[in-house]
Structures are given as C-alpha cells and as structure tokens.
Structure 1
Amino acid sequence: MRSIARDPLLAFARVVLFLAMGLCGLVGAVMLVTAPFMIFGRFSILDDVSADLEGATTGTFLAIGGVMLLVAVAAALAFLFLRHLLRIIDSVGEGDPFVPVNATRLAAMAWLTIAIEALTYPIGGLGILIARSFPNVHSDLEVGFSLSGVLLAVILFILARVFRKGAQMRADLEGMV
C-alpha cells in the first residue's frame, strides 16, 4: 500500500471513496431507522399533522416508508459499488490491476449499476403517488429512463472484459517465460 501514499491521485480517490461510503452508510442507516416510524406510526403521525398536510392519508405515509426502505437498499448497493471500486484502486496502488478478481469486481459493479437504475422506477412511482396526495402542491417529479446509468453499466461490462483479457494475456505470457 505504500505506492498509494506516493500517488496523490490514488490517495485522493481513496479518501473520496471512504467519505462516499460513509455517506451511503449514514443515509442507509437513517432510512432504515426512520422508515418503521413512518410505516407503523402512520396513524399517530397523521393525527398530529392532519391539519397541516391536507390530503395526506395513511397510504401516503406507507408510500413514504416504502421510499425510505428502497432508498436504504439503493444506499447499500451504492456502498457495495464503491467498495468494489476501492478494492480496484488498491490493486492499482499495489501495481497489479490486471487480475481476474478485478474483472469480476467490474462486472459486479455493472450489475449493481443496473440494480440501482432499476430501483429508480419504484422509488419514482411512489414519489409520484406521494405527490398526488397533495393536490395543492405543485410537483415536477418525473420517472424515466436514464441513459447515463445504462451507459455506465455497459462501460463497466466492457472494462470487465478488458481486465479479464489482460489478466489472461499476462498469465499466458508468464507461462511462456
């Protein structure tokens, strides 16, 4: 790991990834802790805020709790994505990035990207349901296809193949020597 300390870009990337992983953990934990209050305490919450939130129903609070749980899942998936990336960066710092495990990590990151992208649909759908509970409030919430998420997944799948081929070529070369 000494070479990471000497490479400022890798050191900076590690710090940023640790901060992002911490943020994912914090968001996931907050959502997991507060979602049950929203789901199981919806009747008391509704009694407390019914005058302030015209149009809110128990279904609204169930939808909010559902969004919170789905966001917790998305945060966990993002944490796993970042952990794979951190391990790839560590292998670069060690001077050995073209190993089969990095190809597997990149493919896993691609699948995690697809899973996170897929979660945006139920989260957005519940968000629209929540917004419709409040007819007096204007909302521009839209749910749609994200080309950038799909493009990232495709790039990661291609990079996984490149790393797999690089590891295979290196193994073949070592076998010849």
Structure 2
Amino acid sequence: MSGKPWQMWSRSDNRALEAVLGLALLLVGLSGVLLPILRVTGPLPPAHTREVELDDVTRSPAVIASGGASLRGTRTGELAFAHPDLTERLLLVLPGVTRALLLLVILELLRRMVRSLRDGDVFIAQNTRRLGVIAVAVLVLATLIPLVDTVTTTILVSGTQLSSKVPIAYELSGPYVLLALLLAAAAEAFRQGARLRADTEGLV
C-alpha cells in the first residue's frame, strides 16, 4: 500500500474525529464554563466547596468552623461555605473555569487541525502555529491553574481561623509540563515538514 499516512485518512474518519472534538467542545463548554457561571450568578445552587490539601500538623477528622466557612478532612480537606457570597462563589469556581477555557482553546485548535486533513496535507504553516499555541496552553495549564487555585484558596480562608489550617502550597503539574515540551517539539517537526514540503514543491 502506497501513499502518505495522512492521505490514507478517509473522509469518514475525518468527520468522525471532528464530531468527537465538537462534542468534547460542547461538554467542556457546558460543564466547565456555563454551569459554574450559573452557579455564581444564581440560577443554579451556588458552588460552596473547595478541595484543599492539609499538612501533617493540621490533619484532623473534626469539623473546624469559622464564621460561614468550615473545614473537614484528614488528608485532603473540604473547605465549605454555608452561604457563600458572590465573591466567594466566584473564587470557588475560578480555577475550574480557567482550566475549562484553556481546554476549549486546545480542543478548537485540534478540531481545526483535523479539518486541515481534508486537503490531504497536515504539514501546513497554520498547523505549526496551532501546535505552538496548544503547547503554550498546556504549559499554562501546568503553571497558571495551580497558582490560581492557591491564590483563590488563600483569599477564601484569609481573615478566618482556617487560614492557619490550610497551608499555602503551589505545585507544578509535571505531566502537563512534559506534554507541553513534547508538543513544542512536535510543532518544530511540523515546521520542518512544512519547510521541506515547500522546498520540494519549488523543485517540481
């Protein structure tokens, strides 16, 4: 069997993958962005909990309450607000919404890359840029999202007795960093492939 691998990609395969990515875009948009926003603005029951890490000193099975907030857990704690105000609801959903928005960017760029297969060539300049943006988005997932989670948790417990129970912790996501580096390498491979294709076409 001859031909380039991407040229063997059938139209039905292309449509199926586009449909899967389109469905993923819809689900992430609904569950990761729309529903949390509705929980902040009021039509849906408000978000009122946040999972937090507890250190060895503060681990306790008892419920610790301070004002309208409470903390329970022995290893991973649950920070809960009985009646969160607008600011607290926004802080609770902000990390998840930020993560979902980045995922939407990644999925949309992947969908556009799949669409480019219709023309029978994956090594085009647009896909090089798309892979580069995806690599940056994944790196932001690894670095910014943990920071947003740490900052919002710190603000939520600030000024309460719980602030001494919840340690300030920031940890990079190693797998995401590795994935970002691999995607950056793939973007460079695409760039070289696009250049070689252009050079080859120039010789014909």
Residues 54-97 of structure 1 show CA distances to partners (whole Å, capped at 9, x for unaligned) of 43348x75444213133222211110100111111222343110
Residues 141-177 of structure 1 show CA distances to partners (whole Å, capped at 9, x for unaligned) of x752211100111011111111011001000110111
Q: How does 1:90-105 map to 2 (within 5 A)?
A: 90-105=115-130
Q: Alpha carbons of 1:4 and 1:120: their partners in 2 closer, same or farther (altered >3 Å)?
A: farther
**1:48 corresponding residue in structure 2:** none
**1:111 corresponding residue in structure 2:** 136
Higher fraction of helix: 1
For 1:131 and 1:11, locate their aligned partners in 2 and report how far apart those are by CA, in whole Å.
48
Give me the TM-score of the superposition, normalised by structure 1. 0.72
**2:22 corresponding residue in structure 1:** 18
Residue 34 (1) aligns with residue 39 (2): yes
**1:167 corresponding residue in structure 2:** 194
Q: CA deviation at 1:114?
A: 1.5
Give me the TM-score of the superposition, normalised by structure 2. 0.63
For 1:33 and 1:64, locate their aligned partners in 2 and report how far apart those are by CA, in whole Å.
10
For 2:113 and 2:126, locate their aligned partners in 1 and report how far apart those are by CA, in whole Å.
9
- Would you say the 8 A contact 2:92–2:152 is kept in 1? yes
For 2:19 and 2:29, locate their aligned partners in 1 and report how far apart those are by CA, in whole Å.
15
Which blocks of at least 5 consecutive residues in structure 1 are unaligned? 46-52
RMSD of aligned residue pairs (Cα, Å): 3.4
- Would you say the 8 A contact 1:31–1:68 is kept in 2? yes
The higher-RCO structure (CA 8 Å, 6+ apart) is 1
Residue 176 (1) aligns with residue 203 (2): yes
Which blocks of at least 5 consecutive residues in structure 2 are unaligned? 1-8, 49-63, 70-80
